[in-house]
Chains A and B, each alone.
Chain A
Amino acid sequence: MKNNAENNGKWIEAFRKSLENSEVEMPGGMQERIFGRRSTGPAWALALCALAAAIVLLIYPRDSGVSDFRNQYMAAAVDSASEHKPYVCEEIKTGNIPAVIMPIEENANRPVRKRPSGVYEPGPAVSHALGAADESVHGKAAKSESVMKRSAVLRSSITEGIITERNRPSGWKRLSDGKWSVSLSFETSSSADVSIGRESGSETASMADVQDVSESYYIYFRNGVPHIIPPSYDYDHLQPLSFGLGIQKTIGEGWSLGSGITYSLLLARVTENGSEHMTQSLNYIGIPLRIRRSFWSRKNYMAYAGAGFSAAYCIYGKRGSEKLSLNKIQYSLDSALGFEYRLYGPLGLYMETGLSYRFRQNLPVETIWQKNKFGMILQIGVNLSY
């Protein structure tokens, strides 16, 4: 470094040039601090969603007397099949005529099959046991009315439970037991639409207008006078897609309440002012709340109707290279008609179709949900019950 009076100005000038256009790391979240607003939607809607989620999560399954008895009986049958020894079932013991479960020798090593969902399919040991129980009651001398009645009730309750369980599709069997089911779904809605945005033009703005102008407008100064020029956008919306994970809880005979989480993608091809093309993508996360009622079932099939409500929030949006910050919750009302087929055990396939109505939002961009507030939806998915 040199001590030179003539150099005084130059190093300072170099200092200035270096700093004047240097890169700075912008603070995060500044837009939210400046522009404010995070719309949380009506408080009652949020409270309803929270309450529904709490109900679904906190209801415990109820036990019925038949299930207790059947579980005990099944345990006995399993024990007998594996251990090759007779087992006296205490519950059936009446008077001095116990029912004796004898394992079938040729199938002694084969355990009794038990469905994961708790549906019991009688294996040879139990079939034999039922026969043995009948024989032990009817074949013996004691044919008192109470014993015969008890055995008839026992047999009918067991076989009815078995038959009913075998034929009842997953997800809605034993509705009084409060079972849970989890589903994975894919959804799409009615066909895409083409719309023309606002026409371009300009108008002179007052100072108040300039302060309140939305981000879709351009401010143009001519001779010191601000003008507002709204750009025109042509939207070519693509079909929205949604994926979801749901959970359902049976709350009564034929009734179930469900919630979950969904991800939706809204894509659109946008043309600005007739020339600039870009893609608009909006990613929503939603929480649905649905109530469902089954009204028809046969063997492995079931039909149901449902209605619900959902709230979705745009977690990330982009138009071209510009990030979009929508900060608004999209509420919708849904209705559905569905059909489910039990594939195997707890696994079922379902398909449902219905109508959805999206509430109006004042967004700075156009979405297919705002363009077509009513939409037909088609949802397919898999259901697991336990």
Chain B
Amino acid sequence: MERMYHMIGENVFRICLRYMGTRFDAEDMLQESIIKIYSSIGKFKWQGPGSFRAWYSKVTVNECLQKLRKKDILQDGIPIENVDGLFTEPEEKEIERIPAKVLQKMLCEMPDGYRTVFNLYVFEKKSHKEIAGILGINEKTSSSQFFRARKFLCGKIEEYFKKSDSQ
């Protein structure tokens, strides 16, 4: 059991950090997710390399979403004008220059609602329709939340480059 924890713990914690935003909440979720993984391992069916990782990642995401639903996440957020072009998006190469820890921190600073939709869309590769079904919202809300998340990140990235240029 403990060997399995060593194998998957880091990946599980990475997912929890992405969804929960704070390290404290992420540690709680890590504990709950590991217990959930162990208790439901009988349901896992081997479908080739990578299937185990995909399975336990899904279990972890579901646990995180359950927790976030209780917090009524979609009430969070900054009012934002839904107008294209109000923010400039970074280039791929610029993102590669930013350390992963900084990107993680930007993601954690995002409001819970934006972050959840962003994670589901970008990391779990869900469509807005699927996200709407998971979170119990409508598709347009999912799209606007994702838009806001992108704008938030772009602002943070711009801030980061301004600071690093001034130094």
Chain A contacts to B: CB under 8 angstroms: 1-4, 7-8, 10-16, 18-20, 22-24, 26-27, 30-31, 33-35, 206-207, 210-211, 213-215, 219, 221-224, 226, 322, 325
Do the beta carbons of A27 and B27 come within 8 Å of each other? yes
**B2: shortest Cβ distance to chain A, in Å?**
5
A221-B123 CB under 8 A given contacts A8-B89, A19-B103, A34-B31: no
Do the beta carbons of A15 and B153 come within 8 Å of each other? yes
**25 examples of A-B residue contacts, CB within 8 angstroms:** A1-B89, A1-B94, A1-B157, A3-B88, A7-B89, A8-B150, A10-B91, A15-B122, A16-B122, A16-B123, A19-B14, A19-B18, A19-B104, A19-B107, A22-B100, A30-B31, A31-B2, A206-B42, A207-B41, A211-B42, A214-B1, A215-B2, A215-B3, A219-B4, A221-B45
Nearest residue, chain A, Cβ from B26:
A27
**B37: shortest Cβ distance to chain A, in Å?**
11
Do the beta carbons of B96 and A24 come within 8 Å of each other? no
Determine the chain B residues whose CB is within 8 A of the CB of A33 once the complex forms: 31
Do the beta carbons of B100 and A211 come within 8 Å of each other? no
**A357: shortest Cβ distance to chain B, in Å?**
30
Determine the chain A residues whose CB is within 8 A of the CB of B100 once the complex forms: 18-19, 22-23
B9 at the A interface (CB under 8 A): yes
CB 8 Å contact bits of B5-33 with A (1 = contact, 0 = none): 10001100110011000010001001100
Determine the chain B residues whose CB is within 8 A of the CB of A35 once the complex forms: 1-2, 5
**B80: shortest Cβ distance to chain A, in Å?**
17
**A273: shortest Cβ distance to chain B, in Å?**
15
* C-alpha gap A22/B44 in the complex (Å): 26
Do the beta carbons of A2 and B91 come within 8 Å of each other? yes
* C-alpha gap A12/B152 in the complex (Å): 13
Do the beta carbons of B95 and A18 come within 8 Å of each other? yes
Do the beta carbons of B39 and A211 come within 8 Å of each other? yes
Chain B contacts to A: CB under 8 angstroms: 1-5, 9-10, 13-14, 17-18, 23, 27, 30-31, 34-35, 38-39, 41-42, 44-46, 85, 88-92, 94-96, 98, 100-101, 103-104, 107, 122-123, 150, 153-154, 157-158, 161
A224-B107 CB under 8 A given contacts A16-B123, A27-B30: no
**A374: shortest Cβ distance to chain B, in Å?**
31
Given contacts A14-B96, A15-B103, A24-B14, 5 further A-B contacts (CB under 8 A): A1-B94, A14-B95, A20-B123, A27-B13, A34-B31
Do the beta carbons of A30 and B30 come within 8 Å of each other? yes
Do the beta carbons of A24 and B46 come within 8 Å of each other? no
Do the beta carbons of A1 and B158 come within 8 Å of each other? yes
The 6 closest A-B pairs by CB, nearest first: A207-B42, A22-B100, A224-B45, A14-B95, A221-B46, A10-B92
Residue among A13, A24, A34, A206 making CB contact with B34, cutoff 8 Å: A34
* C-alpha gap A35/B2 in the complex (Å): 8
Determine the chain A residues whose CB is within 8 A of the CB of B41 once the complex forms: 207, 210-211, 219, 226
Do the beta carbons of B38 and A2 come within 8 Å of each other? no
**B85: shortest Cβ distance to chain A, in Å?**
6
* C-alpha gap A242/B5 in the complex (Å): 33
* C-alpha gap A215/B38 in the complex (Å): 13
Determine the chain A residues whose CB is within 8 A of the CB of B101 once the complex forms: 22
Determine the chain B residues whose CB is within 8 A of the CB of A222 once the complex forms: 46
Determine the chain B residues whose CB is within 8 A of the CB of A2 once the complex forms: 88-89, 91
Do the beta carbons of B92 and A22 come within 8 Å of each other? no
Determine the chain B residues whose CB is within 8 A of the CB of A20 once the complex forms: 14, 123
Determine the chain A residues whose CB is within 8 A of the CB of B17 once the complex forms: 24
Determine the chain A residues whose CB is within 8 A of the CB of B30 once the complex forms: 27, 30
* C-alpha gap A14/B17 in the complex (Å): 18
Do the beta carbons of B39 and A11 come within 8 Å of each other? no
Residue among A3, A7, A219 making CB contact with B92, cutoff 8 Å: A7
**A141: shortest Cβ distance to chain B, in Å?**
93
Determine the chain B residues whose CB is within 8 A of the CB of A22 once the complex forms: 14, 100-101, 103-104
Residue among A3, A207, A215 making CB contact with B85, cutoff 8 Å: A3
* C-alpha gap A322/B122 in the complex (Å): 35
Determine the chain B residues whose CB is within 8 A of the CB of A213 once the complex forms: 1
A11-B45 CB under 8 A given contacts A27-B30, A31-B2, A34-B34: no
A11-B107 CB under 8 A given contacts A26-B9, A35-B2, A226-B42: no
Determine the chain B residues whose CB is within 8 A of the CB of A226 once the complex forms: 41-42
Do the beta carbons of B96 and A18 come within 8 Å of each other? yes
Determine the chain A residues whose CB is within 8 A of the CB of B23 once the complex forms: 27
Do the beta carbons of B1 and A7 come within 8 Å of each other? no
Determine the chain A residues whose CB is within 8 A of the CB of B13 once the complex forms: 24, 26-27
* C-alpha gap A120/B63 in the complex (Å): 78
Do the beta carbons of A11 and B103 come within 8 Å of each other? no
Determine the chain B residues whose CB is within 8 A of the CB of A3 once the complex forms: 85, 88-89
Do the beta carbons of A11 and B94 come within 8 Å of each other? yes
Q: Choose among A4, A24, A33, A226 the residue with the greatest number of B CB atoms under 10 Å from its CB.
A: A24
Nearest residue, chain B, Cβ from A207:
B42
* C-alpha gap A23/B17 in the complex (Å): 12
Q: Choose among A15, A26, A27, A223 the residue with the greatest number of B CB atoms under 10 Å from its CB.
A: A15
* C-alpha gap A232/B104 in the complex (Å): 43
